[in-house]
Amino acid sequence: MSASANWTISSVRDALTAKKVSARELTDDYFGRIERKNSELNAFLTLSKDRAYKQAAAVDGLVAKGSSLPRLAGVPIAVKDVLSTEGVRTTCGSKILENYTALYDATAIARLEAAGAVLLGKTNCDEFAMGSSNENSAYGAVQNPAAPGRVPGGSSGGSAAAVAANLAVVSLGTDTGGSIRQPGAYCGIPAMMPTYGRVSRYGLVAFASSLDRIGPFAQTVRDIAEVFSVIAGWDQNDSTSANVPRPDYVADIDKPVSGMRIGVPDEYFAAGLDPEVRTKVEAGIALLEKIGCKRVSIRLPHTDYAIATYYIIATAEASSNLARYDGVRYGLRTNAATLSDMYRKTRRNGFGAEVKRRIMLGTYALSSGYYDAYYLRAQKVRSLIARDFAEAFGQVDAIVTPTSPVPPFKLGERTADPLQMYLADIYTVTGSLAGLPAISVPCGKTPEKLPVGMQIVGPHFSEGRVLQIANAFERAGGFAI
Ligand code: GLN
């Protein structure tokens, strides 16, 4: 077993069944890789060795008995540290939760483990998932394994880096305004944000509840479909989870895509798009045409308002969700003479600069006298953005865009200017506001060898179709255009 072996879910299954490797050996191998590489990458914050070896032993027990193996048996996985894990530290990349251990498992993790997956540990992320570069983590930045010296993207930077560096076969991230798709693009791997409500948010520490979603990173689109098939579906513990029928995403993945109408929005190829990113995404669209898709030019006229709308709604919801970290209920407490001083000092010491900025912005947008001018207006524009997409999907089956306007930037390059950082979310926040599913797939590299991502967006609950297009693209060689 080579230390750089590129395992996939099906190669793990085959090797276990043929007894070429045991789940225990595979787990050892992955912890060995993490040991060798994590000090440089900083992708993992906490390892869950006891839990991993217990699960590996259970899988090896099934193999020994000759029982049929569950779908993800023995597959080493990593999860973003905003997902609750019983008995394992859950920091959300924040000092305020440095010593917090969750009391229960997030539904998505419970489902992965019930399907036999081996949880290696929790991955680094921007504090409370607020960021686009992973530089807002209280535990330090993450290196991009595909572009040394550059950011891995954020906020799920650790989950993307772990898979890109082969420190886990698949991982989970969360996406509120781009945090799965953008790090997927920057690290050169596929990554999917499902439809809002498709995957239970139970056990996901809330950032902006009307936008937050959980989804997978993997090396292949097929593995994305495998993981998604396990985590998707209704959950009685999440009142916003949708009770809609679920196809078998893996069984349908090779269906032909010829004849599909692909919408290309003018607004996404305008000023601000890096020319090298444009060249690669155009080449990606040309490849889709070559395999039978039809290119259709479309308009999404409210795109210009998306960043402002997203940053009002997301910060408003965050200011409310983060009120619970008060030194009484969770994590850090800084003692002081009076109760209000204790609240203040705890929050001052526990939260980083970006989180504080957003709490202030969100509190302002929700305060009396400003609510109508900011929050309510943002909600109205959100409906207009969603309507743009609904109209476009009257003409096309899916929409193709760049994932990010720029390739991965240098560590430290944008930290001084938060607005500049926010602007890089332009192509991802729109689908977030509209609740749509979207996958980012690699579409080659710039001449400087920086990964570029292409985004495929579909109508609500059309993940099957989005995965088919992404899979056809991968099989046609699109990842390495
Ligand atoms: N970059 C966006 C933000 O900072 C998105 C974050 C996310 O999707 N969690 O809010």
Q: List, by residue number, the catalytic residues.
A: 80, 155, 179
pLDDT, tens digit (0-9, with 9 covering 90-100), for 177-201: 999 999 999 999 999 999 999 999 9
64 alpha carbon to ligand 1 midpoint, in Å?
Answer: 45
**Percentage of residues of the chain with pLDDT beyond 90:** 96
pLDDT at residue 246 in the model: 87
Coil, strand or helix at 172: strand
Q: How far apart are CA 89 and CA 56, in angstroms?
A: 21
- Is ligand 1 within 6 A of the CB of residue 313? no
Q: How confident is the model at residue 369 (pLDDT cuts 50, 70, 90)?
A: very high
Taking CA atoms only, the protein residue closest to ligand 1 atom 4 is: 131
Q: How far apart are CA 257 and CA 465, in angstroms?
A: 9
**Percentage of residues of the chain with pLDDT beyond 70:** 99
- Is ligand 1 within 6 A of the CB of residue 456? no
Q: How far apart are CA 261 and CA 134, in angstroms?
A: 35
The radius of gyration of the chain from alpha carbons, rounded to an integer in Å, stands at: 21
pLDDT at residue 189 in the model: 98
Backbone angles phi, psi at 477, to 5 degrees: 90, 15
**Burial of 50: CB neighbours in 10 Å, binned 0-12, 13-18, 19+:** exposed
For the CA of 175, the nearest atom of ligand 1:
8
Helices (H), 329-376: 339-350, 353-366
Peptide bond into 155 cis (omega under 30): yes
Q: How far apart are CA 196 and CA 200, in angstroms?
A: 9
- Is ligand 1 within 6 A of the CB of residue 176? yes
pLDDT, tens digit (0-9, with 9 covering 90-100), for 453-466: 999 999 999 999 99
pLDDT, tens digit (0-9, with 9 covering 90-100), for 409-445: 999 999 999 988 999 999 999 999 999 999 999 999 9
- Is ligand 1 within 6 A of the CB of residue 70? no
Cα 225 to chain centroid distance, Å, stands at 14
Give CATH superfamily name and number for 9-231: Amidase signature (AS) domain (3.90.1300.10)
What single-letter DSSP state applies at residue 97? G
Tell me, yes or no, if the two domains 9-231 and 261-302+385-480 fold the same way.
Answer: yes
Cα 442 to chain centroid distance, Å, stands at 15
Question: What is 261-302+385-480's CATH number?
Answer: 3.90.1300.10
- Is ligand 1 within 6 A of the CB of residue 130? yes
Choose the residue to mutate in 155, 307, 414 for probing ligand 1, maximizing ligand atoms within 8 Å of C-beta. Answer: 155
Task: Give yes or no for a contact between 129 and 207, defined as CB atoms under 8 angstroms apart.
Answer: yes
Q: Which two tokens stand for residue 51?
A: 């839990």
- Is ligand 1 within 6 A of the CB of residue 425? yes
Bridge partner residues of 83 (DSSP): 204
Task: Give yes or no for a contact between 184 and 453, defined as CB atoms under 8 angstroms apart.
Answer: yes
11 alpha carbon to ligand 1 midpoint, in Å?
Answer: 33
20 alpha carbon to ligand 1 midpoint, in Å?
Answer: 42
347 alpha carbon to ligand 1 midpoint, in Å?
Answer: 21
Domain segments of the chain as ranges:
9-231, 261-302+385-480, 308-372
For the CA of 354, the nearest atom of ligand 1:
4
pLDDT at residue 420 in the model: 86
